[in-house]
Chain A
């Protein structure tokens, strides 16, 4: 394992959240989704965010993934304050720092696996040849070489999720945010996907798993539990190994 996870004095933590609050206006009501969260995540961490629906874990993921911004508090990503950025700047941060893996895969329909994986690179202005090379490399990392020209409808659920992981990897982002990545998969395929995610952790990538299933959270080194918009538990554990 790399030593990327170890804190060092000259390197700021990857994620540093201080007093994060997020409120929504829903009709006449003010909904407090997060009520003051402090969280620090080091480089190369393997972390699961747990909680029932309504606990604020989705809001947490959206904020962490720079899809949303906090109402109050500061969020430093790799030492840079990203809590008050424009939509355009946020998009840039997402492109460079974060790869998303969703429960419902969210691949573009009627588009080949290769093109799905290439897509993030287009927005970074990377030329076609280089895009192709990097996308093929990412597909190789998820064992999908040979299926790059298959459309999502021609791939199984597990394969689709692996394409999504390749897409998250292709930009060489240090963080992968996986939102219930196994929620739509059977046990065997779930295991497959978890294996790949654990391998990424071994390679020094920070993987944030958002899940409500303790079985899945067991594969993470650190488990954070949210309830009513607050962190109620934060523990380290020896993760289950999925790899055979």
Chain B
């Protein structure tokens, strides 16, 4: 029999029992639908987490002062000054070649007009690391940050909204610690950081200005601050961390037995562990969804078995007029395949809708790769074949004489 004839026969047989076919398909529809939705939203959630960490800085390592040990008890990070301007200069000069961007970051809480926010003093590299651009006005340059020290500020969207509502803040003067600063730029909206802070609630001023007006510093030591380091490529992060550690240990003249007098936080690592836990949950959900697909498959098998028994006489007639066992097997196998495949296609649509709804509900990007769709379709077909095989084999093994005499 030709493929077309076989398919036509299968569709007709299924059409004859519309309600039954639909109900059987429901199992596959829900199975495939949930698998698709789970895979898609798992991807979406993973991407969302990755996005959050990307917004905090690309391939970011944060170097801070170490903790002070006094009488055996360790103080908090940054309680001891150990990072020096020389360390920072060494990094700027490319002594760790995998590092692309370096900038000290100082930060403190301040009150601006009637709004409590934080002010950050840094170099333009900071904007590079965070891939942050001005949506209005401009950013300050390297010269301003290192030698000039003009009293200018770039503000985040939250601050802009709080202080100026909808009017433009550019050119306005804000007072920080009773010093006037001119607002020269407003930053793009970034949203929450991976730790849940509002990244847009910030005022950024040139480093030089910060050191003159906010924190006089500690001579050769970098005061209560951090050095942000951005590694050129993601794969080099661990390498860079090791190289950075050994460079700083050498600069600080630490012996082999000494503890590090600085700390390096690896945000990528944190992001990765977050992603891993998201992935774990997504996998778990996909497994549960796959279980429902198996249940759907069992439904197909069940109905095909009933169908074989109901149509015993038909099988006998077909065999009498020349259908080979293989023909009979193919007929039933194609029926269950069609049942599962049609269910799979509908399930695909259902899953896509579900994924879309979940994505908009949780604010994820909709992730619906073609490979997932193809895979789901293949899985549906596979379910049809696997669960249709046993009933089909039973049908093909019927003895034509007994089948012809079978009374329904």
Contacts and interface: CB of A to CB of B under 8 A. Distances in A.
Interface of A: 62, 65, 67-68, 87-88, 91-92, 94-96, 99-100, 102, 106-108, 110, 119-120, 122-125, 127-128, 167, 171
A91 B314 contact: no
A124 B324 CA distance: 10
B404 A122 contact: no
Interface in B313-366: 313-314, 316-327
14 contacts: A67-B319, A87-B325, A91-B323, A92-B324, A94-B320, A94-B322, A107-B317, A108-B314, A110-B16, A119-B317, A119-B321, A123-B1, A123-B324, A125-B2
A127 B4 CA distance: 10
A166 B322 CA distance: 15
B185 interface: no
Nearest to B4: A128
B322 A67 contact: no
B326 A67 contact: no
Nearest to B8: A128
Contacts of A125: 1-2
A106 B404 contact: yes
Contacts of A106: 313, 316-317, 320, 404
Given A106-B313, A123-B327, A128-B5, A171 B404 contact: no
Interface residues of B, number: 22
Interface string B287-323: 0000000000000000000000000011011111111
Nearest to A68: B401
A96 B317 CA distance: 15
B319 A91 contact: yes
Nearest to B16: A110
B66 interface: no
B5 to A, nearest CB: 6
A127 B2 contact: yes
Which of B316, B319, B322 is the most central at the interface, judged by chain A CB atoms within 10 Å of its CB? B322
A53 to B, nearest CB: 13
Among the interface residues A92, A94, A107, A123, which one has the most CB atoms of the partner chain B within 10 A?
A: A123
A67 B321 contact: no
Nearest to B327: A123
Contacts, number: 64
A100 B316 CA distance: 12
B2 A62 contact: no
B4 to A, nearest CB: 8
A124 B325 CA distance: 14
A67 B320 contact: yes
Residue of A100, A122, A127 contacting most chain B CB atoms (<10 Å): A122
B29 to A, nearest CB: 26
Nearest to A61: B401
B27 interface: no
A95 B318 CA distance: 10
B156 interface: no
A95 B322 contact: yes
Contacts of B319: 67, 91, 94
B400 interface: yes
A125 B71 CA distance: 94
Contacts of B323: 91, 123
B314 A167 contact: no
Contacts of A167: 321
A26 B1 CA distance: 37
A65 B319 CA distance: 12
Contact of B325 (A62, A67, A88, A128): A88
Given A106-B313, A124-B322, A125-B1, 19 more contacts: A67-B319, A67-B400, A88-B324, A91-B325, A92-B322, A94-B320, A94-B321, A94-B322, A95-B321, A95-B322, A100-B320, A102-B404, A106-B317, A122-B1, A123-B318, A123-B322, A123-B323, A123-B327, A167-B321
Contact of B322 (A107, A108, A110, A120): A120
Nearest to B12: A111
Contact of A91 (B9, B316, B322, B401): B322
A119 B320 CA distance: 11
A95 B1 CA distance: 13
B15 to A, nearest CB: 10
B317 A108 contact: yes
Nearest to B408: A109
A174 to B, nearest CB: 14
Given A106-B313, A123-B1, A125-B1, A67 B401 contact: yes
B321 A120 contact: yes
